[in-house]
Amino acid sequence: MIPPVDVVRLLIVDDHGEVRKAIRRLVTVENWEVCGEAEDGDGAIQAARQLKPDLIIMDLFMPGMTGIQAAEAIRKEFPSMLIMLVTTLDARIEEEARKAGIRGTVSKMATDQIVRGIQAMLRGEEFHQLRDKPDRAE
């Protein structure tokens, strides 16, 4: 769980600029700040080292390494860094993500769940969309 801070710093990682822009719009809330963006796994690792965000929102399928591979590398250096995978989901991908230490998974088809997922992760909870149904009452 992230201790209370004035601003939660987010890193967005996706190889499509329009997707990064859309996620940025979704997460622009009062005390959240996008501290950086990256286009691929290598960029995510470098940005995590340089920016030390509180939470990374990352795509699965990118040039070079996958989001899961990048998450594994990041978590070796920063075991407590929160990572949310945003992609087309199935139970196999969700399980791989969980094994890699990814604490949140959200489908690109339900981006409205990104904010809910981030909120849950900041409370110290995991948020996996296939397991945690979007229509669940808070």
Q: Which two tokens stand for residue 66?
A: 């996958």
Q: Give pLDDT tens digits for 7-25.
A: 999 999 999 999 999 999 9
Q: Give pLDDT tens digits for 23-41.
A: 999 998 879 999 999 999 9
In the chain the first and final C-alpha atoms are separated, in Å, by 18
Structural domains in the chain, CATH included, are 8-128 (3.40.50.2300)
3-state secondary structure of 44: helix
Q: Which two tokens stand for residue 117?
A: 């997922």
Question: Which pLDDT band holds residue 124 (cuts at 50, 70, 90)?
Answer: very high
Q: Averaged over 98-107, what is the pLDDT?
A: 92
